[in-house]
């Protein structure tokens, strides 16, 4: 693939290769979404872990021994 004098990728007709840049944008967006979903997953796991630590003794919660 060729580049023009400004460093942009160009196609065989000397036009900016928009398909290349669209694909680069898709890849970057997919990577960002993947990172955000991973962060969300870790956050949700930390919430459930915190909630489990705060659990109470069910036999004592109703006044029974």
More confident residue, 65 or 42: 42
Average pLDDT across the chain, whole number: 86
Q: What is the pLDDT of residue 60?
A: 57
> Residue 13: which of 23, 22, 24, 4 has the closest Cα?
4
Would you state the structure tokens that stand for residue 13, as one six-digit string?
A: 């007709």
Min mean pLDDT across 8-12, 22-26, 37-41, 46-50 is at 46-50
Q: Which residue has the tokens 């997919």?
A: 30
Taking only the tens place, the pLDDT of each residue in 27-56 is 999 999 999 999 999 999 998 887 777 665
| pTM for this model (two decimals) | 0.63
Phi, psi (deg, nearest 5) at residue 16: -60, 130
Q: What is the pLDDT of residue 5?
A: 86
């Amino acid at each position: 693939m060729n580049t023009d004098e400004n460093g942009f990728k160009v196609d065989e007709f000397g036009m900016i290769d928009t398909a290349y840049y669209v694909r680069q944008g898709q890849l970057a967006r997919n990577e960002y979404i993947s990172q955000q979903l991973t962060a969300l997953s870790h956050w949700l796991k930390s919430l459930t872990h915190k909630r489990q630590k705060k659990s109470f003794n069910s036999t004592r919660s109703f006044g029974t021994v």
